[in-house]
Amino acid sequence: MCGILAVLGCTDDSQAKRVRVLELSRRQFFFSLLRHRGPDWSGIYQHGDNYLAHERLAIVDPDSGDQPLFNEDKTIVVTVNGEIYNHEELRKDLKNHKFRTGSDCDVISHLYEEHGENFVDMLDGVFSFVLLDTRDNSFMVARDAIGVTSLYIGWGLDGSVWISSEMKGLHEDCEHFEVFPPGVLYSSKSGGFKQWYNPPWYNESVPSTPYEPLAVRHAFEAAVTKRLMSDVPFGVLLSGGLDSSLVASITARHMASTKAAKRWGSQLHSFCVGLEGSPDLKAGKEVADYLGTVHHEFHFTVQDGIDAVEDVIYHVETYDVTTIRASTPMFLMSRKIKSLGVKMVLSGEGSDEIFGGYLYFHKAPNKQEFHQETCRKIKALHKYDCLRANKATSAFGLEARIPFLDKEFINTVMSLDPESKMIKPEEGRIEKWVLRRAFDDEERPYLPKHILYRQKEQFSDGVGYSWIDGLKAHAAENVNDKMMSNAAHIFPHNTPLTKEAYYYRMIFERFFPQNSARLTVPGGATVACSTAKAVEWDANWSNNMDPSGRAAIGVHLSDYDGNSKVAVSLPPPKTVEDTPMMMGHGVVIQT
């Protein structure tokens, strides 16, 4: 992912202000302030009291796609972070326009010329952009539907509006700043926010479309293949769990047809990280051997992770416990991947939110509660897994693409009658059954059966259970009981309830001391990554509030109560073609 920074409508148009904007875009602090996001090229544009800066990570058209981008007469200026996967189709509809580059993002200024501000929903991709219309000095800002790209907005005392890919680009210069909401655009003409993304599932009403395995399969294959758009070497993150394994399997099948394969070779590279002997390392290697990828294992120790926590908090810009736990191994792995010359990876985030794959979904009381919880989880992704995937990789100039969060794929899955997603062990239906069944192909298997039906393992657990235990022990050495007894007075907002949370909060406050900064981080009760509402599903959970999957007592095979569980035995799988279609209310119709 690239990095963008814009200062719009400031009262100072002096050379000193231009230097300040450049400093914010390039300044060293651990790594460059925003340059770590885009190490390939820097660009800045000034028009009167408006400044647009860009740090580029070149994935598509690396030779000529430097930014900012312009229309034909340079009256429309755009700085953008992201990928527009349907740019070739959009170019065909813009026959009367001349494009300056082959960049996928070059279509944005021309779409604005044709449609004004009402073009954002035409973009199929992930993006954050600032567009300046120099003809009337107006501007618009937009962020992608789910918030895969990161974006913040702030306001200076002089009335200026600041936009930045990361909080560190504006927190020192703004009187107030906040997360720019996903699926929203901001217009200087109206002076406010407008929701551009409003799919049917957004109102959380229960859908009724029957489950068709092949429809799910085809939609996800399309989501993966469109993300293979790259002119540089890429790979896949492969933990050996269901989600990353399916991404790797589909990518391997289509690898030979990509531009990158023709230039860099058709054998897919896969990457996994974990403590020595961790579940992910074992499963990841097994899947890699099955798919025939060039597999790279990265081992880290608990101490390696602890040593990196401060850097992780600085880059990921959060004090949320589960995000930091999962970001640290990803941060360490990203550095290793980038050192191999890889600039883009595909990853498996988002599946658990849209399919209800977290282990606590076992306790969903009915299909309405199940569906509404998935809606809440998707809407909050930009605060958690998207934040982690984007910033932990961007810290080293690596881009992560997330096929499960494709707009069309989300619409397909979220239109299903949630009865088909419900977890029913007595019927052999474990979490994410509809996804597993969709890719259960006897004739041309995507994955080995035991991988296809492996129990959900959260990333921070899968890298090795002693990772979280080690973090807790380290925090206990640095936070004493007296500190905890006064936590509510020291941190009245999102008061840390554990020593681990207190430890992360201290580090975060040192880097980002502003009140606006602490308000950007979510809080509330959670168990096994649930929302606060879902905690009500099981009275026992209130006594064990931890985001680890092992907190799903009675569900996880190695949960915190110390009891070993018996894995769900599945009936002999059938091919998709033989699978009954699941209708609403549990009615099964054979096709």
| Exposure string over 422-432, b if 16+ CB within 10 A, otherwise e | bbeeeeebbbb
User: What's the longest Cα–Cα distance across the chain?
Assistant: 72
Helix (H, G, I), strand (E, B) or coil at 186: strand
Asked whether residue 192 is marked as a ligand-binding residue, the answer is no
Distance CA 272, CA 547 (A): 22
Exactly one of 2, 174, 272, 386 is catalytic; name it: 2
Catalytic annotation present for 2 = yes
Q: Is 309 exposed, middle or buried (0-12, 13-18, 19+ CB in 10 A)?
A: buried
Instruction: Give the per-residue SS3 of 41-57.
Output: EEEEEEECCEEEEEEEC
Distance CA 312, CA 448 (A): 35
Q: Is the dihedral of CA 381, 384, 390, 393 positive or negative?
A: negative
**H/E run at residue 298:** strand 294-299
User: Comparing C-alpha atoms, which of 328, 335, 402, 346 is closest to residue 150?
Assistant: 402
Asked whether residue 273 is marked as a ligand-binding residue, the answer is yes
Q: For residue 517, give both structure tokens.
A: 């900064």
User: Comparing C-alpha atoms, which of 46, 59, 319, 314 is closest to residue 166?
Assistant: 314
Amino acid at 559: D
Amino acid at 561: D
Q: For residue 267, give both structure tokens.
A: 């054998």
Amino acid at 357: G
Q: For residue 203, give both structure tokens.
A: 């109102």
List the beta bridge partners of residue 83: 126
Q: Is 29 exposed, middle or buried (0-12, 13-18, 19+ CB in 10 A)?
A: exposed
CB 225 within 8 A of CB 254: yes
Q: For residue 351, give both structure tokens.
A: 């599946």
Asked whether residue 104 is marked as a ligand-binding residue, the answer is yes
Q: Which residues are catalytic?
A: 2
Q: Which residues are annotated as a binding site for L-glutamine?
A: 104
Q: Which residues are annotated as a binding site for ATP?
A: 237, 273, 347-348
Q: Which residues are annotated as a binding site?
A: 104, 237, 273, 347-348
